[in-house]
Structure 1
Amino acid sequence: MDLVGVAARLPLPGETVLGDEFVMMPGGKGANQAIAAARAGGHAVFLGAIGSDSFGVTLNARLNSAGVDTAHLRTSYGASGVAVIMVDRAGENSILVSPGANSTFTDLTEAEERVIADGDVLLCQQEIPVGTVIAACRAARAGGTRTVLNAAPARELPPELLANVDLLVVNESEAQAITGTETPDVPGLLALVPRVVLTLGGDGSRFAERDGRDEHVPAHAVEAVDTTAAGDAFTAALAVAWGEGRDLLEAVRWATAAGAVCVQRLGASSALPTRAEIDAQFER
């Protein structure tokens, strides 16, 4: 559940800033990307866990109302995951995540492994235990399913995970955390995975492959209101487009349009665009 406060600027450490708006809405990177994928026209099956609290009830309802398949969604006794998000009037944000039920998702059942093997694309994030992400990517590789890892929040990526990732999606700080460099090192990332998309905020993104393609994809010129779920909209649309068989560079361009629609709205799951909205932005 995202608890979002808006103020003229973000507070400094130890400082209290008077905000002027507050909203509470379902979020979480996994759920956001599942909803974004469904709205972008994909058939999204969600694997994850919610808590037994009132937030869990709302999270489940939001997934279902967005058209996400929740047949395998787990409920764990205790709290759901919560994100406390501060947003300034320039659209920048600071986020604190308490994992809650996400931390209980520590293995995969045979049924969940079959779901992964039957998919076109597996899309993973890092708000669940890394061992589960590794198991999911291994199941995808065994079943011939392509894997996309959005390495957020940033943390060390074990070699056994990287060995089963087909496409890595990271922002600049995440790229630096993975390679241990002061600036994003795309060649260094390509030494670990075969394909990389480096998102650059208002500067768009960079798509690179080991076969030599290295392209900058510019951002769309829009007025940003809130960047909270822009990365989720982008990554999910990218996965949908790749699953549909589009060339990856074209998929990145389409995903850029999804991110551009998203940043013009406040919130996370409520800001995610439909396929028609992405197509309209893409054509501009």
Structure 2
Amino acid sequence: MEARTGRVAVIGSLNMDLVVRAPRLPQPGETLAGTAFDQVPGGKGANQAVAAARLGAQVGMLGRLGQDANGTQLLQAMQDEGIDCSRIGRDATHPTGVALIVVDDASQNTIVIIAGSNGALDTAAVEAHADLIAQADVVVCQLEVPEATVLAALRRAHALGRTVILNPAPVTGPLPQGWLENVDFLVPNEVEAAALSGVAVDSPDSARRAARVLQQQGARHVLITLGGQGVFLLPPADAAGNKGIDDDTRGTHYPARRVAAVDTTAAGDTFIGGFAAALAAGRPLDEAVRFGQAAAALSVTRAGAQPSIPYFSEIQPDAPQTSAP
């Protein structure tokens, strides 16, 4: 895949990440002494847009920033990545969104999000900038902007026949009825998959069970990211070679690459951005999954959200990696 060969549209959030490192994650009511603090560009939408751009796609983003210093810094960061920011508006009422992130010595994190201007991205913006979706090969959405806005984008993209990826994050329960019929690839992590399906997810086998529930709810492809255990992919029941939705042998487990993790922040966003870029460039599904995994594996060896996202030239797609049914 050559750089900038496919078009990806991202509809989603832009946040300023306020990142604290501590020996461990605090318990309720506990105060800990941290070891470091950093302020870096983030937001799931922006992270996925940056990942797709660095990993080979032409990217345009629809989002909303405040008219404050954080917004100016975030906009400049996106422009520096070569992302089309002409549809990122500035809101005079709400401050730019922020995320409060604590990372422990085991590279695990907790995140609290303040939506700010992200909450002002409305359905009218989707209609006003429908050309962004029409020009894309792949459309990517998350849940850090209002649900009505996300649904409008999903429906428009689906109606236009675009490949639609939904990262259902953050999520606390099943998606509203009628959402999944507009989604080609549902990509939750294990916590999100459990919230959506009601099935506890802690292994590839349990991911398969959760993915089957999500397909019964209307999802087509389900990719559940499992952190250090890799990714589980359940294709549609009507795909070639599948016996049906009740066939408990369907699906593929892609083990994770073994790396020394430093910070897992934005690993999932990096996977989705790389996966979207590969699909937009016309790569087969299996290759797109592996490409996203290679990018995510490299990202966890670095600190920060967007600073950790690798470039296309850094990915080694031929490194050993095997899949297991």
Q: TM-score range with shorter-chain normalisation?
A: over 0.9
Consecutive unaligned residues of structure 1, counting only runs of 5 or more, are none
1:190 alignment counterpart: 215
Matched, 1:249 2:286: yes
Q: Give the equivalent residue in structure 2 for 1:226.
A: 263
Distance in 1 separating the partners of 2:128 and 2:28: 46
Letter in 2 for 1:275: F
2:41 is equivalent to residue 26 of structure 1: yes
Per-residue deviation, 1:190: 1.6
C-alpha distance in structure 1 between counterparts of 2:219 and 2:303, whole Å: 34
Q: Which residue in the other structure is 1:179 paired with?
A: 197
- Note if contact 1:28-1:83 (Cα within 8 Å) is conserved in structure 2: yes
Distance 1:218 1:125 in 2: 25
Give the structure 2 partner of residue 283 of structure 1.
Answer: 319
Q: Which residue of 2 aligns with 1:216?
A: 253
Structure 2 unaligned regions, length at least 5: 1-15, 202-206, 243-249, 321-325
Q: Secondary structure at the match of 1:32?
A: helix
Other-structure match for 2:136: 119
User: Any runs of at least 4 consecutive aligned residues in structure 1 with deviations exceeding 6 A, and if so which?
Assistant: none
Amino acid of the structure 2 residue aligned with 1:225: V
Give the match for residue 79 of structure 1. Answer: 95
The more displaced of 80-89 and 185-194 is 185-194
CA distance in structure 2 between the aligned counterparts of 1:82 and 1:111, rounded to whole angstroms: 26
Tell me the residue number matched to 1:136: 153
Give 1:52's aligned residue.
Answer: 67
Q: Deviations over 1:5-51 (max 9, x none)?
A: 00111111111111111110010000010011000010010111111
**Backbone CA RMSD of aligned residues:** 1.3
- The CA deviation string for residues 47-98 of structure 1, in whole angstroms up to 9 with x for no partner, is 1111111100000001001111101111112210100000001100000000
Deviation of 1:180 after TM superposition, in Å, equals 2.1
Residue 69 in 1 paired to residue 84 in 2? yes
Q: CA deviation at 1:182?
A: 3.1
Indicate which of 149, 162, 175 corresponds to 1:145.
Answer: 162
Instruction: Tell me which amino acid in the other structure corresponds to 1:144.
Output: G
More displaced stretch, 192-201 vs 180-189: 180-189
Find the residue that maps to 2:187 and give its secondary structure: strand
Matching residue's letter, 1:267: G
Residues 187/109 of structure 1: CA separation in 2 closer, same or farther (3 Å cut)? closer
1:269 counterpart residue number: 306
- Number of aligned pairs? 283
Q: Percent identity?
A: 44
Aligned counterpart, 2:204 = none
Give CA-to-partner distance per residue, 1:230-271, whole Å, 9 cap, x none.
000000101111111111122111110010010001000111
SS of match in other structure, 1:72: strand
CA contact (8 A) 2:126 2:152 kept: no
What SS does structure 2 have at the residue aligned with 1:267?
Answer: coil
Q: CA deviation at 1:175?
A: 0.7
1:115-159 Cα deviation digits (max 9, x unpaired): 102210000011001111111011111211110001111143122
The residue type equivalent to 1:119 in the other structure is A
Q: Encode CA deviations 1:214-242: one digit per residue, 9 max, x unaligned.
A: 11001111000000110000001011111
Shift of 1:282: 4.8
